[in-house]
Amino acid sequence: MNAEVFQMIITLLGGLAMFIYGMNLMSDGLQKAAGEKMQKILALLTRNPVLGVLAGALCTAVLQSSSATTVMVLGFVSAGLMKLPQAISIILGANIGTTITAQLIAFKIGDYAWLFVAIGFVLYFFLKQEKVISIGQTLFAFGLLFVGINIMGETMKPLAGSQFFVDLMMQVQDIPVLGVLLGTIMTVVVQSSSATIAVLQNLASTAGPDGISSIIGLQGALPILFGDNIGTTITALLASIGASVNAKRTAAAHVIFNMTGTFIFIWFIPWYAKFIQIISPSGPEVAVIARQIANAHMCFNIFNTILFLPLIGILVKVVTKLVPGKDSDRLPSEPIYLDYNVLERPFAAIHLAKKELSRLAGFAAGMIVSSKKAFLGNDLTAVKEVLDMEDAVNELQKKTVSYLASISSAETLTEKQASQVSGLMHVAADIEHVGDYCENIAVFAREKTKNKYEFSDSACAEIYECFDHAGRMMRDSIQALETGDHGLADDVKEQEKELNHIEVLLRKQHMKRLNEKTCSPEFTVIYTDVIHNIERIGDCCDNIANAVLDNVDFKAMDEAAN
């Protein structure tokens, strides 16, 4: 290998690296700038297949990566927040959304690349406001992306003089399967169909030996383009390893969708190329072929979506046959919703963490019921249930907090999202404390049963009322967290004040019973400790309500589990 060839390869790889870096940085900037709008996009996912396609396209347009959208969808499917037909419709939309990058490249924005870099740099590095910084990051990255494209374009020009490369391109034109294989391998290696399509657009814009025609031509570019679409499915396949059965089925549907489209279109390449030429701008081939490739990419995915949208039900049956089985039940201490693959998409990761916290809170609510049964019913089986569940709650709380901590380290986290994560960590601690107080009550119940303590009917009625009050507060605080209902959160705070008042009143009434000798003095410690632990449960519910009032609530997609 001579020095010129080596320099060409290094420069080409450098340009590609700058393109990928710029695209990823732009994705991060767009995600921060979009902020809570991403939650609204997610809300569309639960409606119907057509809106699912729209949501998938919008998410991918913001994230600038169909792979990122697909991985996020796999996380939701694996968590049970999304059904298989919904997931497939979103992936159909993601394939359309990813064509935006090729369209941007097709416009001759590269001439202004350094202008975007300069403006973006000023906004990104010198201004303080988070929203402006995000916009600056997006512009700066947008410019870098085109700087990378310009580098690749300049590097590829000498290829026209290489007879070996010209002969290779002729083989791709004559043997479409070779082009499909080349495109697939390129995308698998680079892990970005947008990057490989950008390379393809630059390559096709390079003039051949005659100095007029493209070195590869549209018919030669189409098979590589189809291969790029197949190669992008590898990310979803890798992400589905170790995921739920439905997540594996979703990844399989992605592969089937893109491979079927390629299999259909590969037989009609000459006619498809003519159609694309008709709908694209006219002019010298090397001047318009980048736009033709972008249009071919978009039309390919739109046609495929139109074809598969009415057949989603059939596709579900096919992937169910291909990937049989069902998910095994998980232990209470094992997370259901947490997915580390989506950490770089904080709006999605936070939603999954909130769902896990809701599940954790449900366990704590069940512990309140069991501790009530244990204490008032002298039920040692219920005592064991509480103690066993306490271990599970502690373990699950640790895993959820660890996940939240991982979200905190995401580069795409906004200030508001960081505040939400911090609030959820406090919520996790309060839920775990509820479990601790229930454990205390279960221990008291065991002592009460062992020593055969008999409380008066009035004392039992008072404790029964306290348990019901705390249980209602726990249910309301969970609902407030899930729905973001500030009115319900305010109601929980009022209930907490009432519970504080009840504790003071019950202590006085117990002292009155002691004076009247209707209760035994040895029961006093257990009685006061039980009502105090119940009151502390109310304090935890009050803290959760405060978190909701501080806007630690996430409404999008809650109905997806239905």
Task: Show pLDDT as tens, one digit a residue, over the chain (562 residues).
Answer: 567 667 777 887 888 788 778 877 777 777 776 655 665 666 555 556 777 888 888 888 777 777 778 888 887 887 777 788 888 888 888 888 888 878 877 777 777 888 888 988 888 888 778 778 888 888 888 888 778 877 876 776 666 556 666 566 667 777 888 888 888 888 887 777 888 888 888 888 877 666 677 778 888 889 989 998 888 888 778 778 777 788 888 889 888 988 999 999 999 999 999 999 999 888 888 888 889 999 999 999 999 998 888 888 888 889 888 888 776 666 677 888 888 888 888 888 888 898 899 889 999 999 999 998 988 888 888 989 999 999 999 999 999 999 999 988 877 778 888 888 888 999 999 999 999 999 999 988 888 888 777 777 787 888 888 889 999 999 999 888 888 888 999 999 999 999 888 888 888 887 777 676 666 666 677 888 888 899 999 999 999 999 888 865 444 334 433 3
Distance between the two ends of the chain, CA-based, in angstroms? 61
Q: What is the pLDDT of residue 434?
A: 93
Domain map of the chain by residue range?
10-322, 340-561
Q: What is the pLDDT of residue 491?
A: 93
Q: What is the pLDDT of residue 310?
A: 87
Phi and psi angles of residue 283, each rounded to the nearest 5 degrees, phi first: 145, 180
Give the residue among 216, 291, 225 at the shortest CA–CA distance from 258: 225
| 3-class DSSP state of 344 | coil
Q: What is the pLDDT of residue 539?
A: 93
Burial class (CB in 10 A: 0-12, 13-18, 19+), 521: exposed
Q: What is the pLDDT of residue 559?
A: 41
Phi and psi angles of residue 438, each rounded to the nearest 5 degrees, phi first: -65, -35
Q: What is the pLDDT of residue 554?
A: 44
Q: What is the pLDDT of residue 397?
A: 92
Buried b (16+ CB within 10 A) or exposed e, 428-461: bebbbbbbbbbbbbbbbbbebbeeeeebeeebee
Phi and psi angles of residue 242, each rounded to the nearest 5 degrees, phi first: 80, 0
Name the CATH code of domain 340-561 (choices 3.40.50.2000, 1.10.357.10, 1.20.58.220, 3.40.50.150): 1.20.58.220
From the centroid of its chain, how far is CA 310? 26
| 3-class DSSP state of 39 | helix
Instruction: Give the residue ranges of DSSP H helices in 309-414.
Output: 312-322, 346-377, 380-408
Q: Cβ neighbours of residue 225 under 8 Å, at least 6 residues apart?
A: 183, 197, 200, 293, 296, 297, 300
371, 382 in Cβ contact below 8 A? Answer: yes
Q: Considering the entire predicted model, what is its pTM? A: 0.76
Query: What are 287's two structure tokens?
Result: 């001047």
